[in-house]
């Protein structure tokens, strides 16, 4: 059970209902919105930022999803690990590829650019002060300056809000494998595909 009360869409600020259209989404797809609806102004701002990260994205969906899932593992955000986004699946994310995230630097099915981005995301989630000139030199082999900044902003979004999601313990709609205690992983369990 979550640690903060979810708000039913009928209780949301009308601006949030208009922007999100919760009646067209499952409870799981409503996600953090059900909690953030307690703070509509902040939620509206967050939605603008999230939309800007998504709509203006230069990075491939596949790469972003792999980075997201690796960060989710370190955050231990159950809902983040359980979800697979449809656009990332359409861009080539398979469960075999997700299983590679257990040891990404050894994986043969990840590109050098994906390994570099995953490593950066992993460090953002575990030891951000270890991100040094060598890490950036490796990123520059694969990405433009703008893509590196986009990757950093995307990782910051995933780390921060994934950790918030983990502390809220949003597991009510998740498969049983994601409801238990202890450390879990996004590879090798049931999945939920969302838009």
Say how many C-beta atoms besides its own lie within 10 A of residue 100's C-beta: 22
Grouping H, G, I as helix, E, B as strand and the rest as coil, residue 39 is coil
Q: Residue 3 falls within a domain, yes or no? A: no
Residue 155 and residue 26: Cα distance in Å, rounded?
Answer: 26
Q: How many domains does the chain have?
A: 2
| Main-chain dihedrals φ then ψ at residue 192, nearest 5 degrees | -125, 125
DSSP SS3 for 170:
coil
Which among 160, 128, 171 has a CA at the least distance from the CA of 50?
Answer: 160
Question: Residue 195 — pLDDT band, cuts 50, 70, 90?
Answer: low
- Does a structural domain hold residue 50? yes
pLDDT digits (tens, 9 = 90+) for 111-134: 999 999 999 999 999 999 999 999
DSSP string, 93-153: --HHHHHGGGSGGG-SSS-HHHHHHHHHHHHHHH-GGG--HHHHHHHHTT--HHHHHHHHH
Specify whether the backbone of 77 is left (phi greater than 0), alpha (psi in -120 to 50) or beta.
Answer: beta
Burial of 19 (0-12, 13-18, 19+ CB in 10 A): middle
Structure tokens at 159: 């780390």
114 inside domain: yes
- Are 97 and 175 within one domain? yes
| Whole-number percent of the chain with pLDDT over 90 | 79
68 and 38: one domain?
A: no
Residue 138 phi, psi (nearest 5)? -65, -45
Contact partners, residue 173, CB within 8 Å, separation at least 6 = 26, 27, 28
Percentage above 70 pLDDT, the chain = 97
Handedness of CA 103, 140, 144, 46 (dihedral sign): positive
Domain annotation covers residue 181: yes
Q: What is the mean pLDDT of residues 158-164?
A: 96
Domain span including residue 76: 61-194
The whole-number average pLDDT for the span 56-80 is: 96
Asked which of 14-18, 56-60, 186-190 is least confident by mean pLDDT, the reply is: 186-190
Instruction: Note the pLDDT of residue 179.
Output: 82
pLDDT at 40 (0 to 100): 97
**Residue 126 and residue 37: Cα distance in Å, rounded?**
29
pLDDT digits (tens, 9 = 90+) for 90-117: 999 999 999 999 999 999 999 999 999 9
74 and 51 part of one domain: no
Backbone φ/ψ region at 67: left (φ over 0), alpha (ψ -120 to 50), beta: alpha
Domain boundary among the residues 55, 76, 92 is at: 55
1 within some domain: no
Are 47 and 67 contained in the same domain?
no
């Amino acid at each position: 059970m979550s640690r903060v009360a979810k708000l039913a869409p009928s209780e949301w600020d009308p601006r949030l209902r208009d922007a999100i259209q919760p009646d067209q989404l499952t409870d799981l797809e409503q996600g953090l919105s059900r909690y953030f609806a307690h703070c509509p102004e902040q939620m509206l701002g967050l939605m603008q930022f999230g939309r800007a990260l998504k709509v203006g994205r230069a990075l491939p969906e596949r790469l972003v999803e792999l980075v997201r899932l690796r960060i989710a593992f370190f955050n231990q955000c159950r809902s983040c690990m359980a979800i697979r986004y449809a656009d990332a699946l359409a861009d080539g994310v398979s469960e075999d590829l997700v299983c590679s995230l257990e040891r990404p630097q050894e994986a043969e099915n990840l590109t050098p650019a994906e390994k570099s981005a995953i490593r950066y995301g992993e460090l953002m989630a575990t030891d951000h002060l270890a991100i040094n000139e060598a890490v950036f030199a490796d990123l520059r082999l694969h990405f433009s300056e703008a893509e590196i900044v986009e990757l950093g902003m995307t990782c910051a979004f995933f780390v921060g809000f994934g950790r918030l999601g983990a502390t809220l313990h949003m597991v009510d709609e998740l498969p049983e494998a994601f409801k238990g205690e202890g450390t879990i992983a996004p590879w090798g369990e049931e999945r939920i595909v969302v838009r």
